[in-house]
Amino acid sequence: MELILIRHGETIWNKEGRVQGSSDIDLNDVGFHQVQQLALSLRDHHIHSIYSSPLMRAKKTAEIINQYHNAPICLESDLMEMDQGDFEGLTYQELMACEKEFLVKWISDPASVRMPNGESLHELQSRAWKVIEGIIIKPDNALCVSHSFTIASILCKIKNIRLSEFRSVHVDTASKTIVKFENGSASIKCLNDRTHLKADGPNKPKLNK
């Protein structure tokens, strides 16, 4: 079976560089346009079921993609983004001004820290992987719409790498990552693919290099 991992489209907090975890922020105009193009790129894929974080930016992404598939959408709270606790809504500049010591630890060994009044990467991976395990035991292709850290933690598990290396499997907004599961093994067919995005929408969404 194939599992298609989708990160939601852009939000205003993505644009502003704000910490966006469990806050329920909607897609902005650019994000909506991105997801429309993403949906078109997936219209010929055989997708039998869709699983999504219930946060609005993910749920709306799933619904737009599903226009071409009419598949059942299952909302899974364990696919939500990592709870950023006290850091929710802050910009990187604001964090640097008041949480520099924490950021140094987060940058050097992200798996060793826990967001104040929030979650750690280990807690995130534990809950998210339970959902994935339930999906990949089924034979049919599935699509999963989630968030940056959540997808990265899932990919760390699939690739059997440490969570401290999660930045090596970073995914951008409106990207697709396709994983094939066959005979007990997993192979990543594409990672963080955004070739479907065209620079002709609102504010011209930036393509990956």
Long-range contacts of 123-131 (CB under 8 A, 24+ apart): 123/82, 124/82, 124/149, 124/150, 124/153, 125/153, 125/154, 125/156, 125/157, 125/163, 127/78, 128/78, 128/79, 128/153, 128/154, 129/153, 129/154, 129/157, 130/78, 131/51, 131/76, 131/78, 131/79
Q: What is the pLDDT of residue 199?
A: 62
Name the superfamily (CATH) of residues 2-193. Phosphoglycerate mutase-like (3.40.50.1240)
Q: What is the pLDDT of residue 202?
A: 46
Half-sphere exposure of 143 toward its Cβ, with a 13 Å CA cutoff? Answer: 30
Based on the number of CB atoms within 10 Å of its own CB, is 196 exposed (0-12), middle (13-18) or buried (19 or more)?
A: middle
Q: Which residues of the chain have pLDDT under 50?
A: 200-209
Q: What's the whole-model pTM score?
A: 0.93
Q: What is the pLDDT of residue 208?
A: 33
Kind and range of the H or E run holding 181: strand 176-182
